[in-house]
Chains A and B, each alone.
Chain A
Amino acid sequence: MGFLMMSCSRKKSKGLILANSLAIEGLHAGYGEVRVLSGISINVRGGETVVLLGTNGNGKSTLIKCIMGQVRPTAGRIVATIDGTSYDLIGRSTEDIVGIGISLVPEGRRLFPKLTVEENLLLGAFREFARARISDSLAFCFDAFPRLKERRRQLAGSMSGGEQQMLAIARALMALPKILLVDEPSVGLAPILVSKTIETIANLKKQLGLTVLMAEQNFRQAIRIADRGYVLVHGQIVLSADNPQALQQNELVRRFYLGVG
């Protein structure tokens, strides 16, 4: 499985990993009159993979968009700590937030379909901090995803769903983020690719010392790589689990989301 193998050259020290975290408190948000999130409080500690679980339409993407500055919350706080410095994210533009060191692999991938694979990747390194290291980052991504190297001159829009998801992840990594947000990476992929993609994320996270928040509706796959998790229903956190076992063994999750018991 070539694309899971990657170099360890950019492994971060433990100290830095612990410095990158995300804290959300009492968040309310919606679209015009429609209220979507009511009083969300979650946190992601340095070096963790936290999963945000919920079926369609429960507000996962809205929460992610609030973090990225794409949706403006009506109340609450979002504070990111990067390399020991705290940033209040509310009111900042998406560009600023990316500049701080938070990247998103968005729902639906949002590639530039008429640009080549390589052009998409190079664009990922737009942020000032990433520009100086662009050739190392490109080599790293091609190493992690040999498929992308083979297809570097191909238009992004002409690739398969699985390849596009790899490219979306790689493009986000080109920004050299400290915190990586991933919104529903499994959507539209065949089951075999879903588990591969989830494993890739876990692997990259380990290699790069990232802090990860991943939204998913595929509970079974997401729980495999989770350190902790939250379940979101109708814009509220109904379950906060401190370890994957607690998610797996929860009565509600078993009955409604895993289809057992």
Chain B
Amino acid sequence: MEFSWDLVINAIVTGIVLGGFYAAVAIGVTIAFGMLDIVNIAHPAFMIAGAYLAFLGWEDFGFDPFVSMAVFAPCGYLFGRAFYRAYHYFFERRGDESLQGLAFFFGILFIVEIGVVLVFGVDYRSISEPYLESSVSVGFVSVPWRMLVPFLVGLGMLGSVHLYLSRTFTGRTILAVSQDVEAVRLIGANPIRAKEIAFGIAVATAIIAGVLLIIIQPVEPSITREYIGRAFAICVLGGIASIPGTLVASLILGVAEALTTTFYGPSWSPAVSFGLLLLTLIFRPVGIFGR
């Protein structure tokens, strides 16, 4: 595409807005992988579960996507807590988590994807609400609400998680638990309970990210694959366990992808996250906000 400043500014704005959504996708990986040492590669599976739940809610009950978030995120939280307990019981407790745990999460990813194919088929599914189809324009830049809603919800979610982790006792325990489990016990906290709550939160954020995804674009079952790379790239670039890092890294990835799409075409955009991941590992392995 021919270079022009209008295109650059448009791409940057689109990228920032997209980055807010990526932050919503990556926050759960930052919690599970960064803070709990759980390599939850099934995260995108929880996300498409959220997307299809929102589709079901919209089609069968006329749920607005915000209603879907309010209904399904708490379910995701409870499911996540139960799921962590099972994971802990069968893998973590025995010290089997590295390889067998990874295989377990890979299996979950597979099962969810196949389950979605069986129930919904491989066709694209989407939802629409009149307010999502309108746009906000400032000068020559115009952003549709179907992008702005995920951006705003993503930022709100990051802010809430950040406040929870830094201001509450359980939140601080979650920050501490990967550093020294025995020391967590010695302050009088139960590390397993802290991890269980944190994993519940991570799954709830994945469900919300899924609802945001189906607001942005039609979904089909294999869309999970694009998001594994993105979420882990953001997590590493941001500094593994840092919430501000997750935000900055998401915005960087969003802008980098939007610029690539604008000037080289959309087929290059999945490569951007791997490029960023490689650059991070070469030049700053601890990430932007790594401690």
Query: Which residues of A pack against B, CB within 8 Å?
Result: 68, 70, 93-95, 98-99, 103-104, 106, 110-115, 119, 122-127, 131, 155, 171, 175
Contact = CB atoms under 8 A, between A and B. Distances in A.
B187 A123 contact: yes
Contacts of B112: none
Interface stretch (B43-51, B126-134, B176-184, B230-238): B176-184
A95 B188 contact: yes
Given A110-B180, A112-B180, A114-B179, A119 B186 contact: no
B108 interface: no
Given A99-B188, A106-B183, A126-B188, A112 B176 contact: yes
Given A119-B172, A126-B173, A112 B186 contact: no
A135 B175 CA distance: 21
Query: Shortest 7 CB-CB distances between A and B: which pairs?
Result: A98-B188, A94-B185, A127-B188, A110-B183, A114-B291, A112-B176, A112-B179
Given A112-B180, A115-B179, A106 B186 contact: yes
Contact of B169 (A113, A114, A126): A126
Given A126-B169, A131-B169, A175 B180 contact: no
Interface of B: 169, 172-173, 175-176, 179-180, 182-183, 185-190, 241, 291
A126 B189 contact: yes
Contacts of A70: 182, 185
A215 to B, nearest CB: 15
Nearest to A65: B182
Contacts of B188: 95, 98-99, 126-127, 175
Contacts of B187: 98, 123-124, 126-127, 171, 175
Contacts of B169: 122-123, 125-126, 131
Given A119-B175, A123-B173, 16 more contacts: A95-B185, A98-B185, A98-B188, A106-B183, A112-B175, A112-B176, A112-B180, A114-B179, A114-B241, A115-B172, A123-B189, A125-B169, A126-B187, A127-B187, A127-B188, A131-B169
Contacts of B190: 93, 95
B189 A93 contact: no
Contacts of A99: 188
B175 A111 contact: no
B183 A155 contact: no
A171 B172 CA distance: 14
Query: Most B CB atoms within 10 A — which of A113, A125, A126, A155?
Result: A126
A174 to B, nearest CB: 8
30 contacts: A68-B186, A70-B182, A70-B185, A94-B186, A95-B185, A95-B189, A98-B188, A104-B186, A106-B183, A106-B186, A110-B180, A110-B182, A110-B183, A111-B180, A111-B183, A114-B241, A114-B291, A115-B172, A115-B176, A115-B179, A119-B176, A122-B169, A122-B172, A123-B173, A123-B187, A123-B189, A127-B187, A131-B169, A155-B291, A171-B187
Contacts of A112: 175-176, 179-180, 183
